[in-house]
Amino acid sequence: MILFTGGTVVTMDPDVGDLARGDVLVEGDRILAVGADLGSHPGAAHARIVDTTDRIVAPGFVDTHRHAWQAQLRRSIPDVTDLGAYVVSTLGRLAPAYTPHDMYVGTRLAALTALDAGITTMLDFSHNSRSAAHSDAAVEALSDTGLRGVHASMGPHFGDWDRQWPADLGRLHTAYHGGGDGLVTLRLAALATDEIAGPQLAYGPELAAVARDLGIGVSIDAVFGAASSAAILRWADAGLLGPEVTLIHATGLTAEAWRAIADTGTTVSLAPTSDAQIGLETAVPAIDEALAVGVRPGLSIDVEVALASDMFTQMRALHTVQRMRAVNAAYGTDTVPERITTRDVLDFATRQGARTVGLGEVTGSLTPGRQADLVVVDAAAVNNMPLNDAVGTLVLGADARNVEMVLVAGRFRKFAGELVGVDLDELRVEVAASRDAVLKAADR
């Protein structure tokens, strides 16, 4: 038992509400109770007491799409000009040089960085699955960190590979789905169209059948513009969309495509900094388009080769861009802009993110019975004091240095500001060696 007591509790569960001062009681891997004072709760008698005075206790963030294997290449192309430049440099030149060990190192680094910044669930869109060993290494890296990991497996865009995907998904499902103390789940990953890497990686009836037969969800990347809009309408007509399918980016889609997404209950993952910084399609995150048809999206990091690693950045970027668009659209007119709130953005980063990756009944809120995935944020730090609005502080004030504790399935993965059981000096050496090996192999 663990009793987090005396903090400001942001549950993100509308039925439970928030507490200016409250407690969260954890039993095993689940949240047992949330209340104003749980000291007299029968379950608290023998609990470990964690004083969260001057702290915010909130659900862990959910990253709905990150290419984790690339982590040792962080900020290697910080001023990338467009999607094509990323594809050529990272997927075309460097990805073929990765060994299974490099997959493990990159994925583990990304997962540990996620935990350090309060992300308790991460979907790893692992699109460098060159062999069964590459996939195994990526999944094992997720499991070894204690993160709640979703391995979304896809074959690589370019270079030599074993062509074991998607057939290998059956083996992966048997070996890993529900593994890692129940923290690892599996999804099929695909591209929206065949424009980048050919038809084998593009979503359609064959890949949908693979996912359906295994009972797993599908995450579809590179959903942009007219070609993807047409594909969405085809998928809708063929019955290939639904709540188990996630469309990533969804930038520059037609109104008809958005109606099909909403009508089928298909989920959406937005990548706010990726769209804007890399310049994907319209370069504007599709938050207004999503909300207009009643779709509440999850948020994602995407590629660390050019972008930030944390959810705080994604929340702020989306909040700023959407409100800028709203006000700009009304400038000089009588229009009353609809602006999203900080609570909207936190909802996208937690509860909606969990729903987007198929874990909506498992995590994403501090709800009794849900898995105990939570973060404790220092609200008395110099960048947060004094605490006036907890949600506003999480979205607009806090950053990774303020994440003092991270709990995943009831186990501390970060405590007193430090990752638990991680030798950072050893990690630095391993990461640098992997990066150097990849660069050397790519230049041969």
Please say if the pLDDT value at position 178 is more than 90. no
Q: Is position 139 within any domain?
A: yes
Domain final position from 301, 332, 356: 356
Tell me the pLDDT tens digit for each residue of 221-259: 999 999 999 999 999 999 999 999 999 999 999 999 999
If one counts the domains in the chain, the total is: 2
Please check whether residues 94 and 108 belong to one and the same domain. yes
Question: Predicted confidence band at 418 (pLDDT cuts at 50, 70, 90)?
Answer: very high
Please check whether residues 111 and 124 belong to one and the same domain. yes
Please check whether residues 226 and 102 belong to one and the same domain. yes
* Closest by Cα among 228, 165, 174 to 200: 165
Please check whether residues 132 and 232 belong to one and the same domain. yes
- What is the average per-residue pLDDT within 368-391? 98
Residue 28: its pLDDT value, please? 96
Which residue would you say has higher pLDDT here, 41 or 235? 235
Please say if the pLDDT value at position 389 is more than 90. yes
Q: Is position 435 within any domain?
A: no
Tell me the pLDDT tens digit for each residue of 334-362: 777 799 999 999 999 999 999 999 999 99
- What is the average per-residue pLDDT within 145-167? 97
Contacting residues for 26 by C-beta, under 8 A, at least 6 apart: 1, 2, 3, 4, 32, 372, 407, 410
The pTM score is: 0.97
Please check whether residues 413 and 310 belong to one and the same domain. no
3-class SS of residue 77: coil
Q: CATH number of the domain at 127, please.
A: 3.20.20.140
Please check whether residues 108 and 139 belong to one and the same domain. yes
Please check whether residues 68 and 16 belong to one and the same domain. no
Residue that the structure tokens 């240095």 belong to = 401
DSSP class of residue 42 equals G
Please check whether residues 37 and 163 belong to one and the same domain. no
Please say if the pLDDT value at position 270 is more than 90. yes
Q: CATH number of the domain at 14, please.
A: 2.30.40.10
User: Under a CB-based contact definition with an 8 Å cutoff, are residues 102 and 95 in contact?
Assistant: no
Please check whether residues 229 and 134 belong to one and the same domain. yes
Domain final position from 306, 326, 356: 356
Q: Is position 111 within any domain?
A: yes
Q: Is position 434 within any domain?
A: no
Please say if the pLDDT value at position 112 is more than 80. yes
Please check whether residues 235 and 323 belong to one and the same domain. yes
Question: Predicted confidence band at 179 (pLDDT cuts at 50, 70, 90)?
Answer: confident
Contacting residues for 393 by C-beta, under 8 A, at least 6 apart: 56, 377, 379, 384, 387
Whole domain around residue 88: which residue ranges?
A: 61-356
The total of other beta-carbon atoms located within 10 Å of residue 206's CB is 11
Domain final position from 307, 330, 356: 356
Please check whether residues 71 and 56 belong to one and the same domain. no
How many percent of the chain have pLDDT more than 70? Answer: 100
Please check whether residues 280 and 172 belong to one and the same domain. yes
